[in-house]
Amino acid sequence: MQSGLGKTEKWILEYETKDPSINPLMGWESSSDTYSELKLEFSSKELAINYAKKKKIDFELVEPKRRKIVKKSYADNFLN
């Protein structure tokens, strides 16, 4: 499996689902809140924060985790 870095330079604003319920027919989680389907993308953290403050949206900032890169050689698979 490969972990690519494509589309990782964006900041996303997502709304939390209010009043989630279980659909009695299918058993899926559903909600009448249409904001839960909305995702806004921003090119920088500052733009996302400014937008949330301007629209008076309570937000929680989740910083991306640092990736630990372990450089290995293909030959290491056969040396142990």
* pLDDT tens digits, one per residue of 11-22: 999 888 777 888
Residue 77: how many other CB atoms lie within 10 Å: 8
Query: For the whole prediction, is pTM greater than 0.75?
Result: no
Residue 72: how many other CB atoms lie within 10 Å: 8
Query: Does residue 56 carry a pLDDT above 80?
Result: yes
- Model confidence at 50, in pLDDT bands (50, 70, 90)? very high
**Amino acid, single-letter form, for residue 5:** L
Residues counted in the chain? 80
Query: Does residue 9 carry a pLDDT above 90?
Result: no
- Return the domain boundaries, the chain: 11-79
Query: Does residue 32 carry a pLDDT above 90?
Result: no
User: What is the Cα–Cα distance from 64 to 67, expressed in whole angstroms?
Assistant: 9
First to last CA, the chain: 22
